[in-house]
Amino acid sequence: MSDFFQLISPEFSSYLTGPLFFISLAGLGFVIGILAGVFGVGGGFLLVPLMNILLGIPIEIAAGSATCYIIGTSTTGVIKHYHKGNMEIKAALYISLGSIFGAVSGDILQDFLVFLSGGNRILFEQIMQGVFILLLVLIAWVMSRKSSYDEKSDIRPVTFLQKMKFGPDTDLPLSKQIGVNIIGLFGIGFSGGLLTGLMGVSGGVLFMPILVLGVGLAPHLAVGTSLAVVLIGSISAIIKKGLSGGGKVSLPIAVALLAAGAVGVRIGISISHKLHGDKLKKYFSIIVLLAAVMVTVKLITSFT
Amino acid sequence: MVKYAAVSVLVLIPVLWGILMVPVLDFFEKKIFLLSQKRNS
């Protein structure tokens, strides 16, 4: 029994203790929940460093607990976005499936590349973080540009996935797209998952731009669909962490974060619904830049 | 066995919490909406 409690509530030290510690976590959960609701991201890229810097929670426990928290907030968000008609379920499922395979392949590829580069894992991770920063800046720039189509129009430009002729296809009714290639959707998820596995980041921030730019979804649909991909990815990450013993998850921290997190998500979804698609994209590019800053700080501190 | 039990708890508790919060927040959202309507009228 003690082994079980050690697995769901590992011991750690932090700057704060008692009610103040849990109230601070609830506050953080609330703020990150708003971001999850508005932009369809998990928010781990902000939550993990904030828990570590502000509360002194060890990175390993912060990362595991944040993943557990993301499962809860994205569950609330997914249900609400679904009711508001902001989710392409088929696209979410195929992309999630691809991203799980991609993340596992990314892990394996990372080990192989580290082996090829002479076993210097730290240098490899630094190079990967550098590439990730460039990718985030590129995404922020593309997302800040105005859409070439009218979101409310029935006429949609034909996407790359609709032009693919091989393999089965499916329709995405909410985004009015017919004949979208399933292998293409799987491939897009696989590429996103591969990047996250290769770069050792959670990568929820990648899926909203992937859905807008790669699949051609309208920003509002991309937010809901991205949150569904994040939910499935987080569940698979917790299962992987738990079974491989590769990470520590603290359920009390996750529950404290979740206490106000769901309220934040709901507020976020209401805000997202009121924003015009182009504005949503523009604000999202700021979030992506923030993620780039966080990774840059992590990269700089790894040199010292 | 302990590992599987721990993973199940770590997945199920946030999922159930997330599902439970939907009707709870719907209830409060409705209450706030009704209150604001009452105040406006």
pLDDT means over runs of 10, chain A (304 residues): 79 82 93 88 84 86 89 92 90 92 84 80 82 87 73 67 83 84 91 78 77 84 90 88 78 92 90 85 88 85 79
Number of other CB atoms surrounding residue A252 within 10 Å: 13
| Chain centre to alpha carbon of residue A176 | 25
Cβ contact, residue pair A75, B3, below 8 Å: no
Bridge partners of A180, per DSSP, are: A170
Helix (H) or strand (E) holding A55: helix A44-55
Q: Which residue of B has its CA nearest to A83?
A: B22
Q: Which residue of A has its CA nearest to B19?
A: A76
Q: Say if residues A84 and A273 touch (Cβ distance below 8 Å).
A: yes
| A196: CB partners within 8 A, 6+ apart | A99, A102, A103, A106, A202, A203, A206, A233
Report ipTM (2 d.p.): 0.91
3-state helix, strand, coil in chain B (%, to 5): 95, 0, 5
Q: Model-level pTM?
A: 0.87
Q: Which residue of B has its CA nearest to A263?
A: B25
* Helix axes B2-40 and A251-274, enclosed angle (nearest 10): 40
Q: What confidence score (pLDDT) does residue A45 get? A: 80
Sign of CA dihedral A43, A25, A240, B13: negative
Q: Say if residues A155 and A62 touch (Cβ distance below 8 Å).
A: no
Query: pLDDT band at residue B9, thresholds of 50, 70 and 90?
Result: very high
Q: What confidence score (pLDDT) does residue B14 get? A: 94
CA-CA distance, A96 to A90, in Å (whole number)?
A: 10
Q: Check pLDDT > 90 for residue B11.
A: yes
For B27-39, what is each residue's pLDDT tens digit?
988 988 899 888 8
Q: What confidence score (pLDDT) does residue A69 get? A: 92
- φ, ψ of residue A102 in degrees (nearest 5): -65, -40
Q: What confidence score (pLDDT) does residue A148 get? A: 60
Cβ contact, residue pair A262, B10, below 8 Å: no
| A224: CB partners within 8 A, 6+ apart | A40, A77, A78, A81, A82, A84, A86, A87, A88
Contacts of A4 in chain B (CB under 8 A): 2, 5-6
